[in-house]
Amino acid sequence: MPKPPATTRFVVSLFATPNTAHQEVFYTVPRGGHLIGGKDHHVERDHFPGHELIWCLGGKGCVRLQGKVHGVAAGELVWINCAKPHSHWADPSDPWEVYWLRIEGPRLESLSQMLSTESNPVFSGCSADTAAVYQEVFLRMQNPAPESPALIHVAVARLIAAAFCARAGGSESLEATPPALRKAMERMRLFYFQPTRVEDLAATSGLSPSHFNRLFRRTFGTSPIDWLRRERISQAKRRLVESNETIKQIAEQVGYPDRFFFSKDFKRYTGTTPGQFRAREKQNRR
């Protein structure tokens, strides 16, 4: 059996300096590369700009966040919020080979929180083409063109989507919803107009209300009741545009017996009243 390499080797090492206009609207990649880790590969920082997405091609490694060490194996994605103390290194007995990107962009902090990356930075079950996404970014960085910033943004968004899919259930299909939530989700989608309590949804899932709430938030990034209200508003939008029923009738059809409360919720989620939304959308359809 060959001995693990003693020294880390950088196969690809890339730098970029995105312009300010792109940084305001796109995910950007100021640094990235491909390395074959040796026994000496160890990175430790108190803080650093951006977030790092590491894809383990082979071997093994570790990442430490909040004093906790997480193992990383081939085919796993790691998300590190570099603003917090962190370290990562190759397993000396079987050093990893990785692709990595340092990304910056709007709302990455919020996305990181939604995915609970500080407590669980490792994502298993990502799509098999994840490595190809990194290769695409490397190619765009090496051969910049006017469209490159937008295409890099799309590629990074695919990696973020892969993290969400992996966290939800390891699949990019509609079946990615955790099994424990599927009955509750089916109930909310089909019977969104019925009065619903978290306790009822939790019972449908066979979970305690607190456990159900935590799992739901971790999966969808919001509470069950907020998700249900948004679904009701989405159903109301369709009725407002496709029918001539009164706002009171539509409110009742989507689960709001009180028209005032419906209008308040509608404006909260859309920034406009039901009447204003109807007038604007019908005008745009002509």
Instruction: Output the domain CATH number for residue 201.
Output: 1.10.10.60
Q: How many CA atoms are closer than 13 Å to the CA of 132, on its beta-carbon side?
A: 4
Model pTM score: 0.72
Same domain, 210 and 280: yes
Q: Cβ of 141: how many Cβ atoms within 10 Å?
A: 20
68 vs 285, more confident: 68
Same domain? For 104 and 238 the reply is: no
Collapsing DSSP to helix, strand or coil, 57 comes out as: strand
pLDDT digits (tens, 9 = 90+) for 154-188: 999 999 999 988 876 544 333 457 888 989 999 99
Does the structure show a pLDDT above 80 at 272? yes
Domain identity same for 15 and 132 = yes
Q: Do 206 and 86 sit in the same domain of this protein?
A: no
Does residue 174 belong to any structural domain of this protein? Answer: no
Q: Which of 117, 234, 123, 231 is nearest to 184 (CA)?
A: 231
86 domain-assigned: yes
Q: Which ranges in 1-107 belong to alpha helices (H)?
A: 20-25
- Tens-digit pLDDT profile for residues 71-91: 999 999 999 999 999 999 999
The pLDDT value recorded for residue 176 is 56
Q: In terms of domains, do 35 and 59 share one?
A: yes
Residue 2 is predicted with a pLDDT of 62
Does residue 155 sit in the same domain as residue 200?
no
What's the domain range around 198? 179-284
pLDDT at position 129 over 90:
no
Q: How confident is the model at residue 1 (pLDDT cuts 50, 70, 90)?
A: low
Residue 27: count of CB within 10 angstroms of its CB: 25
Structural domain tally of the chain? 2
Are 245 and 138 contained in the same domain?
Answer: no
Task: Give yes or no: residues 185 and 161 share one domain.
Answer: no
